[in-house]
Structure 1
Amino acid sequence: MRPSHSRFKWQFDWKSLLVIVLILPILLSLGFWQLRRADEKAALLANFEQRRNFAPVAITGLAEYPNYLPVFALGEFDAQRYWLLDNRISHGRFGYEIMAVFTLVDGRELLVNRGWVAGDASRQILPAVVVPSGTVQIIGELYRNTEKAFSLGAEPVAAAWPRRQQWLDLDDLGGEFPDLLPTTLQLAADSVGAFEIERMVVNVTPAKHTGYAVQWFAMAIALGIIFIFRNSNLGEWLKRSKSNESNE
């Protein structure tokens, strides 16, 4: 008969059992969350690639406003009302992203992302923003960010224009701009009114999200292996088996 000490046995340690019960579900959920994010980013890129080849259509004729749809709009920029979105870095340079109010020929208003402008590093002087005058036609693509910006609290809104803010949420503008369309227009680089345009469809690629998922799953596997060794005689059993093989 084979000695009992040569058999695999469980010897549960409640501390390590508690650790794996608490930590393993978190690691697995983070891994699956990253996989879902990878699928979402892949769908965004697919929509972008599909719609970027469409011919621009008049925004005034739209009933829906899908992201990345090329459009053109006829109207006037508001020379006074625009936002400077703070702390926007481009190629290592400090600056602002300019969000402008554009009044369409039918009277409705559209929020337009005019791109990036350099700012004063001391933050004492706001950049001079040139606003096209008169009726102009602008082109670009629709985009509305559905992710809420991280905030430690509500940002105070200044009454004077232009306004310097950290972020801008369309949902918060309905009271002040009742005729505002529920989307924004990202100007094309060759459009009237465009500043420095650097379009980024996704900030993290699907491949990176998949890589992050692999890391979380690898950590879960490592935790499981440590748990098995801590709660069984597997280590001794493997050593004994190897020793027996070398003696034969």
Structure 2
Amino acid sequence: MMRRLLVWWWLALLLAAGFAWLGRWQLARMHEKQTMLAQAQQALDHSHPQPLLLASDSKRASNYDWSSGQGRIANVTVWLDNQQHAGRAGVRMYCVLLPDIGSQAVLLDAGWWPLNGTRTLPVFGCPAHAEQAVRGLLAAPPAEGLQYGQALASLGEHRWLAARMDVPALARALHLPTGIAPRVLRLDPAHAHGDAGVMLAPGERDLDILPNTLTPERHLGYAVQWFGLAITVLVVALVLTFKRKKTS
């Protein structure tokens, strides 16, 4: 009987430790995303735009910079699928900018569009060969998440549908020998249609850093739940132990 009780306690401790580990992981994710939001806000508060050339700096691939520049829009439109905005499902339109300064192309996040029940993509696209003056927030591309299936599908007429933003795969598909910069430019929502030469279709632009993932508050909530489960397991084990001692 004592041996069986010890086995149950070992199982309870292992289960409680597992729940506690998950709680600590959620707390780590919370702190990580709080840092991301703070860095992004610091970049937004920066009064002087940085050169667009910084998009190609691999050492700053996970950083945020307020940036501006200009270049020519390539004849290609990329729609990123499964993008959330204000609780609605849709797609984000990405254009490829060939900057006047620098060798690598830069992806422009041109905004979000909802999809109807038939999932029909918008008919418009990026203004090919147009000279553009752009400004916005340099940030890492959307996380790829679970990587299964084909990342890109050609829709013909220089249009692509991306299941996830695989930047190297996109550069290969578009035959860009110098590749695409590791950071994208999230266009300034205040940069209106036609402003400073911008002729991109006016989608719903935003600078939301966590559009398709959990907020720090949600991570904290999950951490509390995991820690609560760990405590519950230990309490139940103690109660059952005392009950057995009383009946024996």
Q: TM-score, normalised by structure 2?
A: 0.78
Distance 2:245 2:143 in 1: 48
Please report how far the alpha carbon of residue 82 of structure 1 lies from its aligned counterpart in structure 2 after TM superposition. 1.6
Paired amino acid for 1:189: P
- Counterpart CA distance in 2 for 1:170 and 1:156 is 10
Are residues 1:24 and 2:19 paired? no
Cα-to-partner distance string for 1:122-156 (whole Å, 9 max, x where unaligned): 13554323527632210001111474322343435
Aligned to 1:197: 205
- Equivalent residue runs for 1:132-143 within 5 Å: 134-143=130-139
Unaligned runs of 5+ in 1: 1-9, 238-248
Corresponding residue for residue 169 of structure 1: 166
**SS where residue 198 of structure 1 aligns?**
coil
**Are positions 1:43 and 2:43 aligned together?**
no
SS in 1 for 2:219: helix
**Count of aligned residue pairs for this structure pair:** 227
Give yes or no for contact 2:152–2:170 (8 Å, CA) kept in 1: no
SS in 2 for 1:232: helix
Structure 2 residue identity aligned to 1:32: R
Query: Cα offset for 1:29?
Result: 0.8
The 5 Å alignment of 1:108-187 reads 108-124=104-120, 126-129=122-125, 131=127, 134-145=130-141, 147-155=143-151, 157-158=153-154, 160=156, 161-175=158-172, 176-179=175-178, 180-187=180-187
User: Which of 206, 227, 239 is matched with 1:229 structurally?
Assistant: 239
Aligned to 1:216: 226
- The match for 2:51 is 58
Secondary structure of the structure 1 residue equivalent to 2:24: helix
1:87 to 76, 82, 85: 82
Structure-1 separation of matches of 2:215 and 2:144? 19
Larger Rg: 1
| 1:41–1:206 CA contact under 8 A, matched in 2 | yes
Structure 1's 184 and 56: CA in aligned 2 closer, same or farther, altered over 3 A?
same
Moved more, 136-145 or 225-234: 225-234
Given residue 57 of structure 1, which amino acid in structure 2 is its aligned partner? Q
Q: What is residue 33 of structure 1 aligned with on the other side? A: 25
- Alpha-carbon deviations, 1:166-203, whole Å to 9, x = none? 22112333433232222111101122335211332234
Name the Cα RMSD after superposition: 2.9
Percent identity between the two aligned chains:
22
- Cα distance in 2 for partners of 1:112, 1:41 equals 23
Report the residue type matching 2:240 in the other structure.
R
Q: CA deviation at 1:236?
A: 4.5
Gaps of 5+ in 2: 192-197
- Cα distance change of structure 1 residues 11 and 85 upon mapping to structure 2, 3 Å threshold: same
CA distance in 1, matches of 2:23, 2:88: 35
